[in-house]
A and B are shown apart, each in its own frame.
Chain A
Amino acid sequence: MTASSGGEYLHRREFTLPGDPNAIPPVVDAILAFLREINCHAEEEPAIALALQEALSNAVVHGCRKDPSKTVFCSAACDLNGALVIVIRDPGPGFDSTRVRDPLTTEGLADDHGRGIHLMRNLMDEVRFEDNGKQVTLKKF
């Protein structure tokens, strides 16, 4: 994991992690610690932690195919309006984010996967996919 600061936001820090599921929890903890440090939506830590876990898990599992030689890039920032902006980018082939099955249908409820994006959308105020799903931006206003 590496970290740096700077840029156009009030506060911003970058993180990287290998395509290894075991690398996710320390990065989640580091981002949460950063948010506490800059007092940005720190009171919503549990929801942000889960949304981060889901987004990073998607990047590692689907984007990197759990290949530790691949790298996921992540940044966390607080803008001038106090909004939290997290951007996660993976090196994978991408996917069509508009074609994710609704997990609340009868088939979806019985499925043992496919709830991550639904959780992200409900835990954060905005979730936006770009570059064919290879980049996701999570926001808390």
Chain B
Amino acid sequence: METFRNTTQDLLDAGEARLVVNVAGVRMIDSSGIGVLVRLLASATKAGGGMKLVQPSKLALQTLKLTGLLAIIPIFDDEAAAIASFN
């Protein structure tokens, strides 16, 4: 989690505000992970870009739905579609 947070912050600091986060293979996203994604979405959006999530697991989708974020965080089946959505 710390590595992810640092890496994404480095990207934002470098001016990269259009972020695609591929979570395929991530078994579950707990509330602290959700918090990181929320903060990332806010920072990227504020910087003129955004954050897209790719291939969340069934449990991750359920978690996003339970926390009211399914309608806020854009979800995609593959990276190409997520990247194309920025255009």
Contacts and interface: CB of A to CB of B under 8 A. Distances in A.
Given A103-B68, A118-B66, A119-B67, A110 B42 contact: yes
A122 B42 contact: no
A50 B59 contact: yes
Q: Is the interface of A mostly helix, strand, loop or mixed?
A: helix
Contacts of B30: 50, 53-54, 57, 116, 119
Nearest to A53: B30
Contacts, number: 55
A46 B39 contact: no
Given A46-B28, A49-B28, A50-B30, A109 B72 contact: yes
B32 interface: yes
14 contacts: A46-B27, A49-B28, A50-B59, A50-B63, A53-B28, A57-B31, A103-B67, A103-B68, A104-B68, A109-B38, A113-B32, A118-B66, A119-B66, A119-B67
Interface of A: 46-47, 49-50, 53-54, 57, 103-104, 108-116, 118-119, 122-123
Given A49-B28, A53-B30, 6 more contacts: A46-B59, A50-B30, A103-B67, A115-B34, A118-B67, A119-B31
